[in-house]
Amino acid sequence: MLTNKQDVVKPHLISIVGAGPGDPELLTVRALRRLEQADVILYDALHGTDILDLATPHARKIYAGKHYQDGQHQTERQDRIHEQLKQFAHEGKRVVRLKAGDPFIFGRGAEELAFCFRENLTVEVVPGITAGLAAASCFHIPVTLRNANSMAMFYTGHKRNGGFENMDEVAAVLRANAPVMVYMGLKNLILLGKELMQRKVPTDTPLQIVSRVGHPDQQLFSTQLDEVEEFLSKHDPPMPAVIILGTKAHQIKADTFV
């Protein structure tokens, strides 16, 4: 059976790509290759233009991100992204959905992947370095430490229904000497600290803040749990920021293992 050439659509591939924290040198090799191969890039907001500059010059770049309190209706925004993925795939385009950090950590990568499955679109996920791990590296903080802690937690500082979720579990992790990396929690940090101290988390628990992880204007701040309110009255860490909490959330030193 002969097929009309106009009916032939070239193979497509949607790549949901983690861009890492913002430094182009922290991209994976696969992420770089997908940028070089892309026809269309739907990109997030939390990384700079340097990463986009690595894409092939002919790629169409479309902003699909969000900023804190930018007025977008997030369900409508996500639906629009889904429709764009479907549209460009049906046009035979190679699409990169470029997401800050890792697609599966406090992003909507899972929603986008599920949509592609429902629509029978060819899709892959390319992991990226998440901001929490990058922030810990900036401070030389080991996320796990032999003979000290054997777990870690990623946590969102967003409130739902007027309060934080899983606070008892967060406090238990901190009391077990394991670190908690808090995303999107700067505006609620004072309240978060009070809730943790009410759950018997030591008041002198170290607290580190990394603003704009992986960007040239990255800033590092240090305080402790019971001094957060005073600290924030004197300092204004830029967003986005990652907060690292924990008894072991301080820099490795030469005598750490001595």
In the listed set 88, 104, 126, which residue is the last one of a domain according to the structure? 126
Same domain, 201 and 223: yes
The average confidence (pLDDT) of the chain is 89
Determine contact, residues 74/54, Cβ cutoff 8 Å.
Answer: no
Pairing of strands 206-211, 241-245: antiparallel
Q: Is the pLDDT of residue 200 over 90?
A: yes
Same domain, 112 and 51: yes
Average pLDDT over residues 163-171: 94
Same domain, 89 and 163: no
Q: Is the pLDDT of residue 9 over 70?
A: no
Answer yes or no: is 1 within a domain. Answer: no
Same domain, 52 and 86: yes
Answer yes or no: is 252 within a domain. Answer: no
Q: What CATH number is given to the structural domain containing 58?
A: 3.40.1010.10
Q: Is the pLDDT of residue 255 over 80?
A: no
DSSP 144-181: SBTTTBS--EEEE---BTTB-SSHHHHHHHHHTT--EE
Q: What CATH number is given to the structural domain containing 174?
A: 3.30.950.10
Same domain, 78 and 183: no
Largest CA distance in the chain: 76
Q: Is the pLDDT of residue 8 over 50?
A: no
Structure confidence by residue, pLDDT tens digits, 144-158: 888 888 899 999 998
Predicted confidence at residue 199, as pLDDT, reads 97
CA dihedral 141, 145, 147, 153 (to 10 degrees): 100
In the listed set 126, 142, 173, which residue is the last one of a domain according to the structure? 126
* Nearest-angstrom CA–CA distance, 225 and 75: 35
Same domain, 119 and 139: no
Answer yes or no: is 251 within a domain. Answer: no
Same domain, 118 and 140: no
- Percentage of the chain modeled with pLDDT above 90: 71
Predicted confidence at residue 47, as pLDDT, reads 58
Write out the two tokens for 212.
């704009």
Structure confidence by residue, pLDDT tens digits, 41-93: 999 986 567 899 999 999 999 998 765 555 556 688 899 999 999 999 999 99
Same domain, 217 and 137: yes
Same domain, 18 and 122: yes
Domain around 17 = 13-126
Q: Which of 3-7, 153-157, 174-178, 192-196 has the lowest mean pLDDT?
A: 3-7
In the listed set 75, 108, 126, which residue is the last one of a domain according to the structure? 126
Predicted confidence at residue 256, as pLDDT, reads 65
State the helix-helix crossing angle for 109-118 and 74-90, rounded to 10 degrees.
40
Average pLDDT over residues 104-121: 93
Confidence of residue 107 (pLDDT cuts 50, 70, 90): confident
- Count up the domains in the chain and report the number: 2
Average pLDDT over residues 122-150: 91
What are the catalytic residues? 44, 66
Q: What are phi and psi of 223, to 5 degrees?
A: -155, -160
Same domain, 113 and 140: no
Name which residue leads in pLDDT, 250 or 222. Answer: 222
Same domain, 45 and 86: yes
Same domain, 20 and 120: yes
Answer yes or no: is 212 within a domain. Answer: yes
